[in-house]
Amino acid sequence: MLTFLPFEAAFYAEHRVPVAYVGHPLADELPLVNDRAAAREALELDPATPTLALLPGSRSNEVRFQGEIFLRAAAALRERLGELQVVIPRPRRSAGRSSRRCSNAFRSWPSGSRSAMAARARR
Protein backbone atom coordinates (compact mmCIF):
# COMPACT_ATOMS: atom_id res chain seq x y z
CA MET A 1 0.00 0.00 0.00
CA LEU A 2 1.32 3.44 -0.91
CA THR A 3 0.05 6.28 1.26
CA PHE A 4 -0.04 10.05 0.90
CA LEU A 5 -0.15 10.95 4.59
CA PRO A 6 2.12 9.65 7.38
CA PHE A 7 -0.74 8.64 9.70
CA GLU A 8 -2.15 6.41 6.95
CA ALA A 9 1.08 4.43 6.83
CA ALA A 10 1.00 3.92 10.61
CA PHE A 11 -2.57 2.58 10.39
CA TYR A 12 -1.72 0.00 7.71
CA ALA A 13 1.51 -1.03 9.42
CA GLU A 14 -0.41 -1.61 12.66
CA HIS A 15 -2.71 -3.96 10.74
CA ARG A 16 0.24 -5.79 9.15
CA VAL A 17 -0.37 -4.49 5.63
CA PRO A 18 2.86 -3.85 3.71
CA VAL A 19 3.00 -0.07 3.37
CA ALA A 20 5.24 2.74 2.21
CA TYR A 21 4.63 6.41 2.87
CA VAL A 22 5.33 8.19 -0.42
CA GLY A 23 3.80 11.58 0.35
CA HIS A 24 2.08 13.95 -2.06
CA PRO A 25 3.30 17.26 -3.53
CA LEU A 26 0.28 19.13 -2.16
CA ALA A 27 0.38 17.55 1.30
CA ASP A 28 2.67 20.24 2.68
CA GLU A 29 0.59 23.04 1.12
CA LEU A 30 -2.81 21.99 2.47
CA PRO A 31 -3.64 22.12 6.17
CA LEU A 32 -4.52 18.86 7.92
CA VAL A 33 -7.23 20.73 9.85
CA ASN A 34 -9.65 22.83 7.83
CA ASP A 35 -10.72 26.30 8.88
CA ARG A 36 -14.49 25.73 9.03
CA ALA A 37 -15.35 29.41 9.43
CA ALA A 38 -13.22 30.43 6.43
CA ALA A 39 -14.70 27.66 4.28
CA ARG A 40 -18.27 28.65 5.14
CA GLU A 41 -17.45 32.29 4.42
CA ALA A 42 -15.90 31.40 1.04
CA LEU A 43 -19.03 29.42 0.12
CA GLU A 44 -21.33 32.16 1.44
CA LEU A 45 -22.87 29.77 3.97
CA ASP A 46 -24.58 30.87 7.16
CA PRO A 47 -22.34 29.68 10.02
CA ALA A 48 -25.36 29.11 12.30
CA THR A 49 -27.33 26.92 9.88
CA PRO A 50 -26.70 23.15 9.68
CA THR A 51 -24.83 22.23 6.50
CA LEU A 52 -24.92 18.97 4.58
CA ALA A 53 -22.39 18.04 1.89
CA LEU A 54 -23.84 15.72 -0.74
CA LEU A 55 -21.09 13.62 -2.30
CA PRO A 56 -22.77 11.31 -4.84
CA GLY A 57 -19.52 10.69 -6.74
CA SER A 58 -17.76 12.15 -9.73
CA ARG A 59 -18.69 9.72 -12.47
CA SER A 60 -21.81 10.52 -14.44
CA ASN A 61 -23.35 7.08 -13.73
CA GLU A 62 -22.87 7.54 -9.98
CA VAL A 63 -24.66 10.87 -10.11
CA ARG A 64 -27.34 9.54 -12.44
CA PHE A 65 -28.12 6.46 -10.33
CA GLN A 66 -27.54 7.89 -6.85
CA GLY A 67 -28.15 11.61 -7.25
CA GLU A 68 -31.92 11.44 -6.86
CA ILE A 69 -31.54 9.34 -3.70
CA PHE A 70 -29.15 11.93 -2.27
CA LEU A 71 -31.56 14.75 -3.12
CA ARG A 72 -34.50 12.95 -1.48
CA ALA A 73 -32.39 12.33 1.64
CA ALA A 74 -31.43 16.03 1.76
CA ALA A 75 -35.09 17.04 1.40
CA ALA A 76 -36.07 14.67 4.23
CA LEU A 77 -33.35 16.10 6.49
CA ARG A 78 -34.42 19.64 5.68
CA GLU A 79 -38.00 18.74 6.54
CA ARG A 80 -36.86 17.29 9.87
CA LEU A 81 -34.40 20.07 10.78
CA GLY A 82 -36.33 23.04 9.41
CA GLU A 83 -33.21 24.72 8.07
CA LEU A 84 -30.47 23.09 6.06
CA GLN A 85 -27.80 24.34 3.69
CA VAL A 86 -26.74 21.83 1.07
CA VAL A 87 -23.36 21.83 -0.64
CA ILE A 88 -22.66 19.73 -3.71
CA PRO A 89 -19.11 19.97 -5.06
CA ARG A 90 -18.78 20.18 -8.82
CA PRO A 91 -16.45 21.63 -11.43
CA ARG A 92 -16.75 25.38 -11.91
CA ARG A 93 -17.76 25.08 -15.53
CA SER A 94 -19.90 22.00 -15.53
CA ALA A 95 -22.20 21.68 -18.49
CA GLY A 96 -23.34 18.18 -17.60
CA ARG A 97 -27.00 17.26 -17.27
CA SER A 98 -26.39 15.81 -13.80
CA SER A 99 -25.21 19.16 -12.43
CA ARG A 100 -28.13 21.00 -14.01
CA ARG A 101 -30.55 18.39 -12.65
CA CYS A 102 -29.21 18.91 -9.10
CA SER A 103 -29.35 22.70 -9.44
CA ASN A 104 -32.92 22.54 -10.74
CA ALA A 105 -33.97 20.23 -7.90
CA PHE A 106 -32.98 22.84 -5.32
CA ARG A 107 -34.94 25.57 -7.10
CA SER A 108 -38.12 23.80 -5.98
CA TRP A 109 -37.19 24.26 -2.29
CA PRO A 110 -39.01 27.05 -0.46
CA SER A 111 -37.67 30.57 -0.87
CA GLY A 112 -34.87 31.34 1.51
CA SER A 113 -33.27 27.95 0.99
CA ARG A 114 -30.47 27.53 -1.40
CA SER A 115 -27.57 25.31 -2.16
CA ALA A 116 -24.00 26.49 -2.29
CA MET A 117 -23.74 24.61 -5.57
CA ALA A 118 -26.45 26.79 -7.09
CA ALA A 119 -24.83 29.91 -5.66
CA ARG A 120 -21.45 28.93 -7.09
CA ALA A 121 -23.02 28.18 -10.49
CA ARG A 122 -23.94 31.86 -10.89
CA ARG A 123 -20.29 32.94 -10.71
Q: Are residues 59 and 72 in the same domain?
A: yes
- The answer on 40 and 6 residing in a single domain is no
Same domain flag for 40 and 2:
no
Number of domains composing the chain? 2
Instruction: Give the per-residue pLDDT at 18.
Output: 95
Q: Which residue has the higher pLDDT, 72 or 104?
A: 72
Name which of 94, 66, 28 is nearest 117 in CA terms. 94
Q: What is the DSSP letter of 99?
A: H
| Long-range pairs of 88-92 with CB within 8 A, sequence gap ≥ 24 | 88/53, 88/54, 88/55, 88/56, 88/115, 88/116, 88/117, 89/53, 89/55, 89/117, 90/117, 90/120, 92/120, 92/123
Residues 87 and 108 in one domain: yes
Residue 86's nearest CA partner among 113, 64, 107 is: 113
How confident is the model at residue 82, as a pLDDT? 86
Q: Which residues pair with 51 in a beta bridge?
A: 85
Q: Looking at residue 96, what is its pLDDT?
A: 55
pLDDT digits (tens, 9 = 90+) for 86-110: 887 766 555 455 555 555 555 555 4
User: Residue 9: pLDDT band by 50, 70, 90 thresholds?
Assistant: very high
Whether pLDDT at 49 is above 60? yes
